[in-house]
Structure 1
Amino acid sequence: LKQEKVDYIVAPYEADAQMTFLSVNKLVDAVITEDSDLIPFGCSRIIFKMDKFGQGVEFQITRLEQNRELDLNGFTKQMLLEMCILSGCDYLPSLPGMGVKRAHALIQKLKSHEKVIKHLRYSAVSVPPQYEENFKKAIWAFQFQRVYDPATEDIVHLSGIPHDLSEDDFLGPWLPQAVVKGIALGEIDPLTKEPFEASIPSSAPAADKGYPVKESIIPSNGKKRLELPVQKNILTNYF
């Protein structure tokens, strides 16, 4: 990437949070991923299922109310986040029998996870003792996780952290600024926190791999032409 002069960041912490930070701060146009957790993170624009022809499924958080599968009219960003956590995420497994549709119905009716959990307990659903506490931690992880800010070249939170919330390691352990910057620039190993032993000089020319060109894609006029299949699944709303 350095040789080709392509900007990049190696995420010192969670890649999902890092990509969301770049998205909401308009440092990237979109995020290409297969991980739906970027939705509760609040990523502005996501492209899922991108194929080798550059076509995929687009999600825009500003167009949630146009979704036809689930009625999200009146849903706040917080309600969407809690619905996603309730249905199961990387930070908290779902309760038995809890999928997206049931989580949506409960949040739509009761508006908050506290009321949903209370309702489930009264309904004789088996809710683990630590579930509500872990639910809150999952919310905080989606909202306040540590990320790298390329503008300040230092650690920041994904969004402003409340004064009454202690900065526990579940938001990402504190790292010295020099280490964080080194990881982000690809100079320090994010696992060992030690500098890489050797790096390719940025001035080194790219190697000529000498790949053979298939004759089938070169017409008689000498111009290259690729036959791409017709794709019907052009970018549409995702959710």
Structure 2
Amino acid sequence: MTSPPRILSIAGSDSSGGAGIQADIKTITMLGGYAMTAITAITAQNSRGVTAVEVLSPAMVAAQVDACVADMGVDAVKIGMLGSPAIADAVAERLADLAVPVIFDPVMVSTAGSVLADAATVAAFERLMAIATLTTPNVDELAALGGDAALAARGIAYLAKGGDAPGDTVEDRLVLPGGEGQAWTAPRIATRHTHGTGCTLSSAIATFLGQGVPLSEAIEDARDFVRAALLAAPGFGEGHGPMGHHAVR
């Protein structure tokens, strides 16, 4: 293991700093990793939603990945917003032969409700889920991917996130090929400052795996980090505000 672990985030840019590449960099840095990025899209967004998106070319995304891997090396990868089927395919090609943990957060809709992946992009997720060490869908994303039965039938390891489900208790379920798994529950934190929770969780898992932590422990530690960041939210924004990555020690 390299110290600090080199974590590559492949995701979109969030101009407000609450989610996407910006949340990943904060998370990776706060957890002791070295953050590298391959930006897939540039978004104009804030706590109230996304107002504009410009998707980069697949060649540019691939070039960023190649530049990082060839010179800096990589110990783990986090994948977030991709922006197009062609980018999903380009990323899958680059990662197919990388023998490092890959965490895939299949971003389809932002916390504020903006659609960030069309049907064709969702269909292209198949290659990435097959490569990934772990896929981390929320409630709606899991349904769009076919649900528990469909992912289990395809042998996909995934963490079903329960933050979007109703109720006072949040349950996250790890399901591994063969039906083995584990569940974590915790009281829901009552806050509107939830922007970037999925990005933060997936990049935290990737960072812990890059440090050599076993998968189950990495998930548990990442959940603790997200909950601490929720409690430390600075209160910015009029909608779904950002968390307090900076305040977590």
Query: By the TM > 0.5 criterion, same fold?
Result: no
More strand by share: 2
Larger-Rg structure? 1
What TM-score do the two structures reach when normalised by structure 2?
A: 0.28
More helix by share: 2
What TM-score do the two structures reach when normalised by structure 1?
A: 0.29
- Whose relative contact order is higher, 1 or 2, with alpha carbons under 8 Å and at least 6 apart? 1
